[in-house]
Amino acid sequence: GRVIRGQRKGAGSVFTSNTSKRKGAAKHRQSDFAERHGYIKGVVTDIIHDPGRGAPLAKVTFRHTKRYQHQKELFVAAEGTYTGQFLYCGKKAQLVVGNILPVGQMPEGSIIC
């Protein structure tokens, strides 16, 4: 709505960040047994724009490891990610753009983004 008093007096800029329309925090999955000892497969269901962020976000759906339900996560989309793509997270996932694996499992010289 309004320009606040501190901004009018010259303490800051008149522009404010667009925080109310954000889609959510981009995080990795919480590490569990499947990720520490193998891998888990997820599907990119949607690629969305997040206000206030330069990179797009990917909505990824995983099957729950213990219950009959789905887990939805928000990742920062890597270049070349598309809807319907399978992403693998875990220690034994292949080294492909978009997959998530520990830094210790990556060979030297591989590009990390």
Q: What is the pLDDT of residues 75-112, one digit of tens each?
A: 999 999 999 999 999 999 999 999 999 999 999 999 88
Look at the block and give the residue holding tokens 């901004």.
7
Q: What tens digit of pLDDT does each residue of 3-14 get?
A: 888 777 876 676
Which of 110, 96, 109, 80 minimizes the C-alpha distance to 39?
96
Domains of the chain plus CATH, in order, are: 18-99 (2.40.50.140)
pTM over 0.85: no
